[in-house]
């Protein structure tokens, strides 16, 4: 088996065996990584890479939004609104090639990722 194939298999196995909390953290980690790379690509005028990373980030935000049960807890509607705002900002940032808008989105999402990570580690 080739090294890329083994890596892909390992990643798929990690996803398949992860708890819901771990999956959420994995999504947030990838989202933040996409935002970092997208912002950097915009600043370097690499439109193709920026579009790829920001489009993937938008897909993750959409996934987070559609899987959020807004009736599960009182903060869920606010989180849904935040996801809507971030999605709108990322689309606008991609269209206008505005790295600063991406940076704002990242600054909003990083504390959430950290909070989910802390909550998951506290429950284990």
Residue-level pLDDT, tens digit, the chain, 124 residues:
676 655 556 556 555 566 888 999 999 999 999 999 999 999 999 999 999 999 999 999 999 999 999 999 999 999 999 999 999 999 999 999 999 999 999 999 999 999 999 988 887 6
Phi-psi region of 97 (alpha: psi -120 to 50; beta: other; left: phi over 0): left
Contact yes or no for 111/79 (Cβ under 8 A): no
Q: Which CATH architecture group holds 20-123?
A: Up-down Bundle (1.20)
């Amino acid at each position: 088996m080739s090294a890329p194939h083994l890596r892909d298999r390992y990643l798929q196995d990690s996803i398949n065996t992860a708890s819901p909390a771990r999956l959420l953290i994995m999504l947030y980690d990838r989202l933040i990584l996409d935002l970092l790379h997208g912002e950097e690509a915009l600043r370097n005028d690499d439109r193709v890479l920026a579009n790829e990373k920001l489009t993937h980030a938008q897909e993750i935000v959409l996934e987070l939004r559609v899987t959020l049960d807004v009736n599960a807890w009182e903060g869920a509607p606010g989180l849904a609104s935040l996801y809507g705002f971030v999605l709108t900002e990322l689309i606008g940032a991609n269209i206008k090639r505005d790295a600063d808008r991406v940076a704002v989105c990242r600054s909003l999402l990083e504390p959430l990722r950290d909070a989910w990570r802390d909550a998951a580690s506290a429950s284990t």
